[in-house]
């Protein structure tokens, strides 16, 4: 099994003002002369972590990572206005131009896969290929499964904690009930909802749960941006014009090399979504990991992603 490359530090960091309101933070690591790849993190609102650099051979790749609007080191923190899928798509394109990159490989898991599909379908000429993991297309069925009913049947214990901040009479529409609290003027109300929301995702992300990721997700600084931004995108149905938009537009990227890595026991983004994407895009390679859930850091997922990035480096 392949494991992560050794930890590295960025050779360049900066900020880019992308609108009147928002400034995004980006970094570059690896080889400045290497093949460019842009890493799209999850959530939306999850931010980047240094570990993500380690999915790429530092001799081969010029690794560009950035924190999407409102999260990580981007400012203003947890801000929801001027924060849509199409704003992020244009930010990626602005960053590419800012860094004088002609084309890059797009790498993204979970919401990062959603954004990778939206970006590449909007700007196919900027892309050399896609490496996707834990496919999420933000369709109503996917949101309902994870935040209303479905995953609740597999993790009733974690579910009980998730719904705690919401009184029984409001549980018929948990997304709206959370949105109301996550956008409350009262910081305590916001934080209680944010922690419950965020810990639910941490509790269900791995086939074998880990205590450390639950702790990170429960920290106020992480949870507030993550929960607010996710919920904002979900109540707005991802700002897509039709629920199958990313499948309907697959012809725009069909010619690009693509790899889809999917954990069989992914409870956050069940495999049906990866399957339907692959049915529409059979030229892409679908790699199903028999003993993994949703997380980027499970052994089988790591192995497949690193093998894929090694192969793409040689293209």
- Write the binding mask 199 to 218 for ligand STX: x where contact by CB under 6 A, - elsewhere: --x-----------------
Spatial separation of the C-alpha atoms in residues 300 and 23, rounded to whole Å: 35
Indicate the residue whose CB is closest to ligand STX.
42
Q: Which is nearer to ligand STX, 46 or 300 (CB)?
A: 46
Spatial separation of the C-alpha atoms in residues 26 and 10, rounded to whole Å: 10
- Let me know how long the chain is: 315
Residue that the structure tokens 């394109």 belong to = 93
- Write the binding mask 254 to 293 for ligand STX: x where contact by CB under 6 A, - elsewhere: --------------x-------------------------
Q: How far is the CB of 146 from ligand STX (least distance, A)?
A: 6
Site for ligand STX in 222-261 (CB under 6 A): 226, 230
Spatial separation of the C-alpha atoms in residues 22 and 156, rounded to whole Å: 39
Judge contact between 249 and 264, C-beta under 8 A.
Answer: no
Q: How far is the CB of 221 from ligand STX (least distance, A)?
A: 13
Of the candidate spans 2-10, 35-43, 162-170, 274-282, the one that interacts with ligand STX by CB under 6 A turns out to be 35-43
Q: How far is the CB of 43 from ligand STX (least distance, A)?
A: 5
- Write the binding mask 83 to 122 for ligand STX: x where contact by CB under 6 A, - elsewhere: ---------------------------xx-----------
233: left (phi over 0), alpha (psi -120 to 50) or beta: alpha
Residues forming the active site: 110, 266, 294
Spatial separation of the C-alpha atoms in residues 142 and 268, rounded to whole Å: 9
Q: Which is nearer to ligand STX, 101 or 272 (CB)?
A: 272
Q: How far is the CB of 284 from ligand STX (least distance, A)?
A: 20
Q: Which is nearer to ligand STX, 28 or 201 (CB)?
A: 201
Site for ligand STX in 39-68 (CB under 6 A): 41-43, 46
Judge contact between 198 and 165, C-beta under 8 A.
Answer: no
Q: How far is the CB of 267 from ligand STX (least distance, A)?
A: 11
Of the candidate spans 38-46, 86-94, 148-156, 301-309, the one that interacts with ligand STX by CB under 6 A turns out to be 38-46
Burial of 11 (0-12, 13-18, 19+ CB in 10 A): middle
Q: Which is nearer to ligand STX, 116 or 286 (CB)?
A: 116
Judge contact between 230 and 257, C-beta under 8 A.
Answer: no
Count of residues in contact with ligand STX, rule CB under 6 A: 11
Binding site for ligand STX (CB under 6 A): 41-43, 46, 110-111, 136, 201, 226, 230, 268
């Amino acid at each position: 099994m392949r494991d992560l490359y050794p930890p590295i530090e960025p050779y360049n960091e900066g900020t880019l003002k992308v609108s009147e309101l928002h400034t995004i933070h980006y970094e570059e690591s690896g080889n400045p002369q290497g093949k460019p790849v842009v890493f799209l993190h999850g959530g939306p609102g999850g931010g980047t972590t240094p570990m993500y650099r380690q999915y790429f051979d530092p001799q081969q790749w010029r690794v560009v990572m950035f924190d999407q609007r409102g999260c990580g080191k981007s400012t203003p923190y947890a801000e929801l206005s001027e924060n849509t899928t199409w704003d992020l798509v244009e930010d990626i394109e602005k960053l590419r131009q800012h860094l004088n990159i002609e084309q890059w490989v797009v790498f993204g898991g979970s919401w990062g896969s959603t954004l990778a599909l939206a970006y590449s379908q909007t700007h196919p000429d900027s892309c050399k290929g896609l490496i996707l993991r834990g496919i999420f297309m933000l369709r109503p069925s996917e949101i309902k499964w994870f935040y209303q009913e479905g995953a609740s049947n597999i993790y009733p214990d974690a579910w009980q904690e998730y719904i705690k901040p919401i009184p029984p009479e409001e549980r018929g529409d948990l997304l709206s009930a959370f949105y109301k609290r996550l956008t409350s003027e009262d910081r305590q109300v916001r934080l209680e909802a944010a922690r419950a929301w965020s810990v639910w995702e941490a509790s269900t992300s791995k086939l074998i749960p880990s205590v450390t990721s639950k702790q990170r997700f429960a920290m106020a600084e992480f949870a507030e941006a993550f929960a607010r931004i996710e919920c904002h995108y979900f109540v707005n149905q991802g700002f897509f014009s039709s629920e199958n938009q990313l499948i309907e537009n697959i012809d725009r990227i069909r010619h690009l090399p693509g790899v889809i890595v999917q954990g069989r026991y992914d409870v956050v983004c069940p495999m049906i979504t990866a399957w339907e994407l692959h049915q529409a895009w059979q030229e892409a390679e679908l790699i199903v990991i028999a003993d993994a859930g949703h997380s980027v850091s499970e052994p089988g997922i790591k192995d497949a992603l690193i093998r894929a990035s090694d192969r793409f480096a040689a293209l």
